Every structure is written in structure tokens, then in C-alpha cells.
Amino acid sequence: MSGMAEANEKLVCAILAEQVAHLRDKMDASDAFDLLWRTSALLSWLSGLLADINRQSPQASPVVERERNEAISEIAEIRRKLDHLAFVEAQRQDFAKQIADCVIVALERMSDAQMPPGTHFASADLAALYVSEDQRRLHEEVLQRLKGQAA
């Protein structure tokens, strides 16, 4: 194996290792994601419960009505914020999946079974597998850091 090809493959491995480490750091989010959905469902249930209580009350008290309206408004605001957090979390999960898919494909292509003798997998080959700008940005950050360490 030529020195240039070997150095390039080491670079690919370093980038893949960095991506897997980045992915690992994002994996702890699944519990938070579940909690977001459970909390949102609980708030929906509480909102419905407040409406049921209001309908069953024989006489509407202005104080109870005001407090019920305030609670429903607060629930709506919290649900909006939870929906935003759930959206952000879904994006993080999607990015983690993109990285995992890229690592799997790259490792499969780098295996002896996929690469004919004398061919090599370069960092540009890895970059061609990316589907998001975030992946490309991470790739460039790793390249710059590795170049800085080599200097």
C-alpha cells in the first residue's frame, strides 16, 4: 500500500471515529424524547379533565373559571414549547441516524470484500456519502483539526 493511500485511509478512519464519537454523545437524548411526548400527552389529558370538570360544575364561579382559563393557557404555552423541543430532538435523532448510516456504508465499502485489491477509500469518498450539510461541516471540522495536529 502506498504511503499516500495509507495516510488517506487513516484519515478516513479518524473521521469515522470522530463521527461515531459524535453519534455516541447524541444517543442519550432518547429518554428526553420519550419524556417530551409523555409530558405532552399528560398536558392534553389535564386540559380535557379541566374541561370536563367545568362542564360538570352546577354553577360557574368566576374565580374557578378564571383559574381554569389560566391553566388552559399555560398548558397551551407549555405544549407549544414541548412541540418545539420535540422537533429539535427529532432533528438530532435524524442527524445521529445519518451519521450511523454513513459509518456503516463507509465501513462496508472499505472492507476487503467490497474493495478490489489496489483500490483505496479516501476522505473524498466518505464525503460523497453525506446527505446533510451538518455532516459536511463535521467532516471539515475534523479535517481542519487533524491538519492542525499534524502541523
Alpha-carbon span 4 to 43, nearest angstrom: 59
pTM exceeds 0.85 for this model: no
Q: Per the domain annotation, does 139 fall within a domain?
A: no
Q: Per the domain annotation, does 126 fall within a domain?
A: no
Do residues 25 and 139 lie in contact, with contact meaning Cβ atoms separated by under 8 Å? Answer: no
Q: Which residue has the higher pLDDT, 133 or 64?
A: 133
Q: Per the domain annotation, does 61 fall within a domain?
A: yes
Q: Per the domain annotation, does 78 fall within a domain?
A: yes
Q: Per the domain annotation, does 142 fall within a domain?
A: no
Q: Per the domain annotation, does 130 fall within a domain?
A: no
**Over residues 21-46, mean pLDDT:** 72
Within a 13 Å sphere around the CA of 92, how many CA atoms are in the beta-carbon half?
Answer: 17
Q: Per the domain annotation, does 92 fall within a domain?
A: yes
**% of residues, the chain, pLDDT over 90:** 0
Residue 29 has pLDDT above 60, yes or no: no
Q: Per the domain annotation, does 129 fall within a domain?
A: no
Q: 67: how many CB neighbours lie within 10 A of its CB?
A: 12
Range of the domain at 106: 3-120
Residue 28 has pLDDT above 60, yes or no: no
Given this model, what pLDDT does residue 46 score? 81
The count of domains in the chain is 1
Alpha-carbon span 12 to 66, nearest angstrom: 62
**pLDDT digit string, tens, across residues 89-136:** 788 878 888 888 888 777 777 765 566 667 777 788 888 888 888 888
